[in-house]
């Protein structure tokens, strides 16, 4: 059997049929600015597998990766301990089915996992229902905004300054094509999020308020007050959770008045993975279930009365309802959802609460130690495992210098909000159960060293 079916003669025959002189002729419509002018300089024509491995290994060795250094980065992607049993279990043959069920009812095992996943997400979020997952937190956030528009028949959404800027950016991209109006805000380096300003932005055209909990600076917004204000204007409250472990310690948003709760499940399911694939979580009140995007798995009985699982409400999905579908997402992050479910099952409710307490306590230890470093000011009044500090100079530079000392010190706000000079001295610091006393000591010692000059030089 030949694996390369096209002979030069066959190619010539096909080109003749379509009326092209050469294969390159098929690409004449590509605009010149998108074309490479010629061979990439310095790129060898070929190399052996061993040589490529050696080369790539040397490049990779230049990275300072999360597992090799004291690591305090968060901002929507969290380094947690995912037990080896999770990786082992997700690879079992029983789970090696289609990533999303196209002919669903023959894959009862997949459907059962999704059903249990939905139950876990709904309990974690405190919502009546949850779907079978979405791509990631940011796309789930946009889907919630679009859904609020369908429910309220309004198209202006107010995005809190505490919403992760990458989530706002995703929504802004989507809104370019749907005509939704987004009121996007910046955070301020204050002890508490500015809930009053958010509430003041509500009007009778507003479909929803979008609030991150804890917010991007790690602070805890007052959800009941925000929910009450939103509902008084017949707007919905969308709550975004980028760190699901937090819900082991703080009250579920659905219990505090949120109508739609979305989030990023990465922290409990998969590693950092250079930013993806991640896991979008989505839950809402039952009365809005028909406007909920994505796949939904339900439990039923078969003709003999035995328990079985089905995909339900699929008539609202795009493969049936085309442009009037609830969403263009008809899929789910099956493997990441499976990892999430297995890890949640291993943890149990008490395990999650204990994990959350460890995270919070190590974050408190980190904050206390940092507060003693001259020149460092802890911004937050409240936090879970992530908080913001203000440095006496540009945090981007400090992060770069810390990395030269082998410490990954956090995410600078200058990186999240380029061009926003009021925020440029802000640094987001995260501690998880992976953080050790030695890590905290290393961070504070190097930071103190780096800040000596700038602190002594300042009038305060």
Partner 1 sequence: MTTYYTQDHEWISVDGATGTVGITDYAQGQLGDITFVELPEEGATLSKGDAPCVVDSVKAASDVYSPVSGTVAEVNEALADAPELVNTDAEEGGWLFRLTLSDPAELASLMDRAAYDAFVQGL
Closer residue to partner 1, CB minimum distance, 148 or 339: 148
CB of 382 to partner 1, least distance (A): 40
Closest CA to 271 of 114, 65, 442: 65
Distances (CA, A) of 189 to 77, 367, 374, 391: 21, 16, 19, 11
Single residue of 156, 316, 343, 360 touching partner 1 by CB under 8 A: 316
Single residue of 33, 315, 421, 460 touching partner 1 by CB under 8 A: 315
Site for partner 1 in 152-181 (CB under 8 A): none
CB of 320 to partner 1, least distance (A): 6
55 touches partner 1 (CB under 8 A): no
- Three-class SS of residue 260? strand
Taking contact as CB under 8 A, which single stretch among the options 14-22, 245-253, 314-322, 427-435 is the one that binds partner 1?
314-322
Closer residue to partner 1, CB minimum distance, 289 or 369: 289
Determine contact, residues 117/131, Cβ cutoff 8 Å.
no
441 touches partner 1 (CB under 8 A): no
Taking contact as CB under 8 A, which single stretch among the options 190-198, 316-324, 356-364, 413-421 is the one that binds partner 1?
316-324
Cross-strand partners of 411: 428
CB of 202 to partner 1, least distance (A): 21
324 touches partner 1 (CB under 8 A): yes
Closer residue to partner 1, CB minimum distance, 92 or 321: 321
- Three-class SS of residue 300? strand
CB of 75 to partner 1, least distance (A): 39
Q: What is the 3-state secondary structure (H, E, C) of 116-177?
A: HHHHHHHHHHCCCEECCCECCHHHHHHHHHHHHHHHHCCCEEEECCCCCHHHHHHHHHHHHH
Enter the tokens of residue 437.
């006393």
- Three-class SS of residue 261? strand
Taking contact as CB under 8 A, which single stretch among the options 130-138, 240-248, 318-326, 399-407 is the one that binds partner 1?
318-326
Closer residue to partner 1, CB minimum distance, 77 or 292: 292
287 touches partner 1 (CB under 8 A): no
Closer residue to partner 1, CB minimum distance, 123 or 150: 150
CB of 153 to partner 1, least distance (A): 8
Single residue of 14, 320, 346, 371 touching partner 1 by CB under 8 A: 320
Distances (CA, A) of 397 to 393, 413, 459: 8, 11, 21
Closer residue to partner 1, CB minimum distance, 43 or 301: 301
CB of 315 to partner 1, least distance (A): 4
Taking contact as CB under 8 A, which single stretch among the options 225-233, 313-321, 340-348, 429-437 is the one that binds partner 1?
313-321
Give the Cα separation of 361 and 105 in Å (integer). Answer: 45
Q: Where are the beta strands (DSSP E) in 272-326?
A: 280-284, 296-301, 307-312
Closer residue to partner 1, CB minimum distance, 77 or 296: 296
What DSSP assignment string belongs to 60-76? HTT---GGGS-B---TT
CB of 321 to partner 1, least distance (A): 5
Distance of CA 430 to the CA centre of its chain: 16
290 touches partner 1 (CB under 8 A): yes
Single residue of 321, 381, 400, 441 touching partner 1 by CB under 8 A: 321
Helices (H), ranges, 202-276 = 223-232, 266-269
**What's the angle, vertex CA 266, arms to CA 61 and CA 64, rounded to 5?**
15
Taking contact as CB under 8 A, which single stretch among the options 315-323, 346-354, 357-365, 413-421 is the one that binds partner 1?
315-323
Closest CA to 72 of 423, 404, 454, 403: 403
Q: Which residues bind partner 1 (CB under 8 A)?
A: 290, 315-316, 320-321, 324
């Amino acid at each position: 059997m030949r694996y390369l079916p096209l002979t030069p003669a066959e190619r010539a025959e096909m080109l003749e049929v379509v009326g092209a002189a050469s294969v390159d002729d098929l690409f004449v419509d590509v605009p010149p600015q998108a074309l490479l002018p010629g061979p990439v300089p310095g790129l060898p024509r070929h190399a052996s597998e061993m040589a490529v491995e050696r080369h790539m290994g040397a490049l990779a060795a230049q990275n300072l990766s999360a597992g090799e250094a004291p690591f305090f980065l968060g901002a929507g992607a969290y380094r947690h301990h995912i037990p080896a049993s999770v990786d082992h279990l997700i690879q079992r043959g029983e789970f090696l089915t289609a990533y999303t069920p196209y002919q669903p009812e023959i894959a009862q095992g997949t459907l059962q996992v999704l059903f249990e996943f939905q139950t876990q997400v709904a309990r974690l979020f405190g919502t009546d229902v949850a779907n079978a997952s979405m791509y990631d937190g940011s796309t789930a956030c946009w889907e919630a905004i679009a859904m609020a528009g369908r429910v309220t028949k309004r198209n202006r959404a107010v995005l809190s300054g505490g919403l992760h800027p990458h989530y706002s950016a995703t929504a802004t991209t989507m809104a370019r094509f749907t005509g939704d109006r987004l009121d996007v805000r910046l955070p301020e380096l204050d002890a508490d999020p500015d809930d009053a300003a958010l509430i003041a932005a509500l009007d009778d055209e507003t479909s929803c308020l979008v609030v991150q909990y804890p917010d991007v600076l790690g602070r805890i917004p007052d959800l009941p007050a925000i929910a009450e204000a939103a509902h008084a204007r017949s707007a919905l409250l969308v709550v975004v959770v980028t760190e699901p472990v937090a819900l082991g310690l703080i009250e579920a948003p659905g219990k505090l008045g949120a109508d739609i709760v979305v989030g990023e499940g990465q922290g409990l399911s998969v590693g950092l993975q250079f930013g993806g694939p991640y896991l979008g979580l989505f839950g809402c009140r039952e009365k809005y279930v028909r406007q909920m995007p994505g796949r939904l798995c339900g439990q039923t009985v078969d003709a003999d009365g035995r328990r079985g699982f089905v995909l339900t409400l699929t008539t609202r999905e795009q493969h049936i309802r085309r442009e009037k579908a609830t969403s263009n997402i008809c899929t789910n992050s099956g493997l990441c959802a499976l990892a999430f479910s297995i890890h949640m099952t291993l943890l149990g409710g008490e395990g999650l609460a204990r994990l959350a307490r460890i995270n919070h306590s190590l974050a408190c230890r980190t904050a206390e130690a940092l507060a003693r470093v001259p020149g460092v000011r802890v911004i937050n009044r409240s936090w879970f495992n992530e908080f913001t500090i203000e440095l006496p100079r540009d945090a981007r530079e400090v992060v770069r210098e810390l990395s030269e000392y082998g410490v990954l010190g956090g995410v600078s706000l200058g990186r999240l909000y380029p061009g926003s000079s009021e925020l440029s001295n802000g640094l987001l610091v995260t501690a998880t159960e992976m953080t050790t006393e030695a890590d905290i000591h290393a961070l504070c010692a190097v930071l103190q060293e780096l800040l000596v000059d700038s602190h002594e030089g300042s009038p305060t």
